[in-house]
Amino acid sequence: MPKKPLTKVFFVDDDKDILTVAKFALEKMPHVTMEYFLSGEEAIQHALKAPPDMMLLDVKMTPIDGIALFKTLQLIPTLSHIPIVFCTGRAQTIEQEEYRQLGVFDIILKPFDPIALPSQIQSIWDRYQEEE
Amino acid sequence: MFSICVCCTFGTLFLSSGIITTKLYQNIENKIKLTRPIVITVVFGIFFVAFFSIKELEISSEVFKNASNILFLGGFLFSTSLALSLIFLLRTKEQLVEIESSRHQLLQLQEESRAALTSAQAGMWSLDLKTNRVIWDDYMHLLFGVEPKRFKGTLDDVMESIHPKDRNAILSNLKNAAENGARIDSIFRVIRSDGSTHFIRGNGQLFYDAEHKPISLKGICFDVTDMMLSQNYGVISEAIAQTLANGDSFHQVITDIFQILNNYMGWEVIIIWENSRSPNLHCTQFISSAPEKHVKFQQAVQNTTITKGEPLAGVAWATSKLAFSRNISEEEHFLRTDITKEENLQGSIAVPIFANGTIHGIIELYKSTPFIEQMDSAFISLMHNLGRGVGQFQRRKIAEAERDELASVVKAAPDAIYIYTLDGKIKSWNPGAEHLFGWEKQEILGQEIYKILPSEQYAEHKQTVELCKQGKVVSSFETVRKKKDGTLFWVTKSASPIYDSEGQLIAISNILRDISKEKREYLSVAKNEEKFRAFVETTADWVWEITSDGLFTYSNPSVYPILGYSAEEIIGKDLSSLLYDTLEKKRIKEEIAQSVVKQIGWTQRMIRLCHKNGQLRYLQGSAAPHFNETQKLIGFRGSDRDITETVKLENIKAQFVSIISHELRTPLTSIFGSLGLLVQKEMPPEAYKELLTIAYRNSERLLHIVNDILDVEKLAQPNIKIPLQPVPILKVIQEALSSIHYLAEKSQITMEIQGEIRAVVLGNYERLMQVIINLLSNAIKFSNVGNKVTVSVELFPDTIRVNVIDRGVGISEELKPKIFSRFVQCDSLGCISTAGSGLGLSICKSIIEQLHGQIGFSSKFGEGSTFYFDLPLYREGHA
């Protein structure tokens, strides 16, 4: 089965500054459309309209944190297949394990390297493709 | 002449009358002597003849003249002599009757004597001295046990039947009687042809012929065996009693008794049977007067045991009575008949050895002649006395041996053993007492018992005496006694009454054991135990003991503050009922089972228990296995510390680290990302400013967080005090408002001040500003866009209250209790900003408390919150 190219990624974080930095870091990713959201609610609404290939979620968000968001997505059949990557500073070993047990596909640790971030996202997608 | 003739005539007449009378007598009974009447008559006759002859010669003429006178005289004389003769005759007749009756009586007597002799079982004998022949009547033959036809009538023949030892005496008696006319009276033994020995008493005397020459010895013999034996029994009894009284050893006594029985009664063998070592009788002594004659019998006896009922000793044993056999060698049931026959043992008797109503053994006696003794009361009593005497001797010896043993025990005992009289005088004192008390025996005997009693023990002593008077034994108890040097020491004491032979209480014996050492050890152990008990009872840790099944058998009181149960409630409770959840129950059950198998305890194990009020408690502790005397594991003993707070703190710390890392990483992400892009990537010029602004803003945020953390740390240090000063509250609030103004503006929040703003408080300017900024920034952060935030000041007599009021999201009920804790962050529910360290309110609280104020809040979820603090008003001279 030919690989499905990564075309659309949602980036959800309640910190405006981080979203800005991410925008700059990912703006030149070829063939990938990035969409940025300050809250999970917003992201779900958009995803229901046009589901992304992958979602990057901050964990410590208000009012809906990353984990709650993930669980919500799992309950929506059209969205439950989307690989979720947590992008968080709360990533002690125990927490990482907790996330993975939940079903989170991968974790990107904050602070991320803005230069390496595009290839990091791409390689996660590639791996997801392989595992699928 | 005439007168002479007349006289002669009368005289003759007179004489003839006398003679006639006398002759008459003689005819009647010539055996009776009539010498006296004849002599008297003759003398009278002669006298009259002589008298009248002389008279006639002198006065014949006158006589003749008076013839009538003469006649008268003659008639008178004649009649007188006739009368006299008649009187004599009459008397003689009376005597004659008497003699006749005597003769009759004599004949009767003779018959009776013979009958008496016969009934007395006496025999008559005579020995002719000329011929030396012996004549016996029939009974003599019976007495000597010699058949008449076999009796040859010689002295030697007689001597053959007489006991050899008695023969010489008999011969010498006979000789003495024959030569000197001495009476014969002797007792000698006769051995009859059937072998039995009898005692015979012989009496007799010498008889003479007409010429007074000794011609024969005559006498009687009768059997005095019974009398002799009963006389002997007295002697034997006395001798045995003396032997028993003076005897030293049992063996010696038996030997001596045997000598007596041998001498007096002819017993030749004595056997002592005893049953002390086995249920049957066995021989413990065998003595024979002629051991060489009874070798086989001795061997047989010593190699056998006798059961109850077996002749002869066994019969006596079974019946508790004498058992005898006339001739044991003829007894069918006697097992050693053949040997007795061979060694000629015949007469036998078995006597039970009695003491205190119990048979302790049997005395068996044997002799080579038949047993012919009469089983009369004298004999039976002799034998019974023998058995009883020997038994009592034996018991006495045993008792003496026991007493000696006891005495030696008392002497050697390390315990003090002493006796005192009822009036409290010491009368016995063993070496143990000498050693223990330091009093020598000779100096303490007769002294008052109070010498060894401390005055505190007088009452106890009196109580002991009272108890002993009631016949009670005072069993061992601990008390104190006094040594000679006055030092006191601990002893265990027991006391018992001592009675005399009549059962009267005469003294009290005490046994004391020195327990000073044990007491010291005990006291030190008790002290130690008290010490450790104090440790255990006062420690904040929970000290417990459980069985291997998990049931509590001990708990110290600390369980109450830890789990809410009293120690009493915990004892008997199952550990599993205290465990917090099923997971924990399963885990602990497995761990205890493992510990039981491995026989080990555990160290620093954490356990989750349920407080009585249902709350979770974390305990951590160690335990050691607890074994019984047979080294079987029966449970565990250990202690646990309540680490609930520590665990909570640990959780908080973990949370803190997590939060801090997140809180630091969030601004760092922005800084690192923006600067990274600027440095490594070509960016359009308009992006530069934006990225640099992001980097700067987040650096500021980072600084703020770091400052807060440092502030928390600083405020937590007890030795750093905030300096107090008068602070005009208005000024502080204004400055705080202006410094935070940009934040409010950004979120379109309006801020206002109300109330007594001119008050001056006692505080610290910078710190108060920090508090107010913090509260304001929280108010702004948790407000919705366009809300109003109010700062109001209320004045009280001594304090002011500053309120910071927002109309934002409010605080959830869940969060309210921990709102002032560190790193607590509220969900802002779409509020303006969530950026914060989670330390702000914690810092505020610390500051206000250090400024002697109070901080608090009220909030309704979804409607807003009011945070306030109270501070004392400044008065002159305060600072």
Of B661, B687, B698, the CB nearest to A24: B687
Of B676, B690, B698, the CB nearest to A115: B676
pLDDT (0 to 100) of residue B454:
92
Angle, to 10 degrees, between the axis of helix B225-246 and the axis of helix B250-265?
160
Domain count, chain A: 1
C-beta atoms of A112 and B834 within 8 A: no
pLDDT (0 to 100) of residue B879:
47
| Whether the domain at B539-642 and the domain at B721-872 fall into the same CATH topology | no
Which residue type is seen at B534? A
pLDDT (0 to 100) of residue B90:
79
Chain B positions touching A95 (Cβ under 8 A) are: 658
Q: What is the pLDDT of residues A58-103, one digit of tens each?
A: 988 877 889 999 999 999 999 999 999 999 887 778 888 999 999 9
| Residue positions counted in chain B | 879
pLDDT (0 to 100) of residue B122:
85
C-beta atoms of B694 and A21 within 8 A: yes
Q: Taking the C-alpha atoms of B108, B111, B116 and B119 in order, what is their torsion angle to the nearest 10 degrees?
A: -130
Residue found under tokens 């209250």:
B801
Terminal Cα distance for chain A, rounded: 10
Q: What is the pLDDT of residues B443-486, one digit of tens each?
A: 999 999 998 999 988 999 999 999 998 988 888 888 999 999 99
Chain A positions touching B815 (Cβ under 8 A) are: none
Decide if A47 contacts A79 (C-beta within 8 A). Answer: yes
Average pLDDT over residues B183-211: 85
B120-223 topology per CATH: Beta-Lactamase (3.30.450)
pLDDT (0 to 100) of residue B71:
66
Residue B835 predicted with pLDDT over 70: no
Most confident of B94-108, B335-349, B544-558, B734-748: B544-558
Residue A34 predicted with pLDDT over 60: yes
Of A25, A90, A115, the CB nearest to B662: A90
Of chain B, the percentage scoring pLDDT greater than 90 comes to 26
pLDDT (0 to 100) of residue B544:
94
Q: What is the pLDDT of residues B298-354, one digit of tens each?
A: 888 888 888 888 888 888 888 888 888 888 888 777 777 788 888 888 888 999 988
B721-872: in CATH 2.40.420.20: no
For β-strands A84-88 and A106-109, DSSP reports them as parallel
Interface residue of A11, A13, A15 to substitute, partner B, most B CBs within 10 Å: A15
Q: What is the pLDDT of residues B644-660, one digit of tens each?
A: 988 888 887 777 777 77
Q: What's the CATH superfamily of B251-364+378-403? A: GAF domain (3.30.450.40)
- Average per-residue pLDDT in chain B? 84
The CATH class of B413-521 is: alpha beta
Sheet holding B488-499, edge to edge: B426-429, B416-421, B505-514, B488-499, B474-482
- Return the CATH number at A27: 3.40.50.2300
Cα gap B624→B639, rounded to integer Å: 10
Distance from CA of B619 to the nearest CA of A (A): 23
C-beta atoms of A92 and B829 within 8 A: no
For residue A3, tell me if it sits in a domain. Answer: no
ipTM over the 0.85 cut-off: yes
Q: What is the pLDDT of residues B247-298, one digit of tens each?
A: 888 888 899 889 888 888 888 899 999 887 677 888 888 999 888 888 888 8
Count Cβ atoms below 10 Å from residue B455 Cβ, excluding itself: 8
pLDDT (0 to 100) of residue B57:
58
pLDDT (0 to 100) of residue A45:
93
C-beta atoms of A20 and B694 within 8 A: yes
Chain B positions touching A26 (Cβ under 8 A) are: none
Residue B20 predicted with pLDDT over 70: no
Q: In a 10 Å sphere around its CB, with 0-12 CB exposed, 13-18 middle and 19+ buried, how is residue B470 labelled?
A: exposed
**Shortest CA distance to A57 belongs to which of A87, A96, A25?**
A87
Q: What is the pLDDT of residues B764-776, one digit of tens each?
A: 998 999 999 989 9
For residue A1, tell me if it sits in a domain. Answer: no
Residue B147 predicted with pLDDT over 50: yes
Q: Among all residues of chain A, which has the CA nearest to that of B679? A: A115
Chain A positions touching B683 (Cβ under 8 A) are: 24
Average pLDDT over residues B693-697: 91
Residue B829 predicted with pLDDT over 50: no
Distance from CA of A43 to the nearest CA of B (A): 15
Residue B832 predicted with pLDDT over 50: no
| Cα torsion angle, B356, B357, B358, B362, sign | positive
C-beta atoms of B661 and A20 within 8 A: no
Which residue type is seen at B669? T
Average pLDDT over residues B11-33: 56
Domain ranges of chain B: 2-113, 120-223, 251-364+378-403, 413-521, 539-642, 721-872
Chain A positions touching B829 (Cβ under 8 A) are: 62-63
Of chain B, the percentage scoring pLDDT greater than 70 comes to 89
- At B625, list the tokens: 């296995």
Of A17, A24, A39, the CB nearest to B698: A17
Chain B positions touching A112 (Cβ under 8 A) are: 669, 672-673
Report the half-sphere exposure of B627 (CA within 13 A, side-chain side). 8
C-beta atoms of B670 and A15 within 8 A: yes
B539-642 topology per CATH: Beta-Lactamase (3.30.450)
3-state SS, residue B429 = strand
Q: In a 10 Å sphere around its CB, with 0-12 CB exposed, 13-18 middle and 19+ buried, how is residue B192 labelled?
A: middle
pLDDT (0 to 100) of residue B31:
47
Chain A positions touching B653 (Cβ under 8 A) are: none
Q: How confident is the model at residue B561 (pLDDT cuts 50, 70, 90)?
A: very high
pTM over 0.80: no
Cα gap A29→B33, rounded to integer Å: 204
Of A21, A60, A90, the CB nearest to B674: A21
C-beta atoms of A88 and B662 within 8 A: yes
Distance from CA of B709 to the nearest CA of A (A): 18
Chain B positions touching A92 (Cβ under 8 A) are: 657-658, 661
**Shortest CA distance to B386 belongs to which of B521, B203, B260, B222?**
B260
> Which range marks the domain in which residue A60 is found?
8-131
Residue B70 predicted with pLDDT over 70: no
Average pLDDT over residues B694-717: 85
Most confident of B57-61, B248-252, B358-362, B636-640: B636-640
pLDDT (0 to 100) of residue B659:
73
CB pairs under 8 A between A and B: 93
The residues pairing with B496 across neighbouring beta strands, listed in sequence order, are B509
Of A15, A89, A112, the CB nearest to B661: A89
pLDDT (0 to 100) of residue B830:
43
Report the half-sphere exposure of B349 (CA within 13 A, side-chain side). 24
Residue B542 predicted with pLDDT over 70: yes
Q: How confident is the model at residue B681 (pLDDT cuts 50, 70, 90)?
A: confident
Cα gap B98→B77, rounded to integer Å: 31
Cα gap A6→A32, rounded to integer Å: 6
Average pLDDT over residues B157-163: 87
Residue A36 predicted with pLDDT over 80: yes
Numbered residues of chain B with Cβ closer than 8 Å to any chain A Cβ:
657-658, 661-666, 668-674, 676-677, 680-681, 683, 687, 690-691, 694, 697-698, 827-831, 834
Interface residue of A27, A110, A115 to substitute, partner B, most B CBs within 10 Å: A110
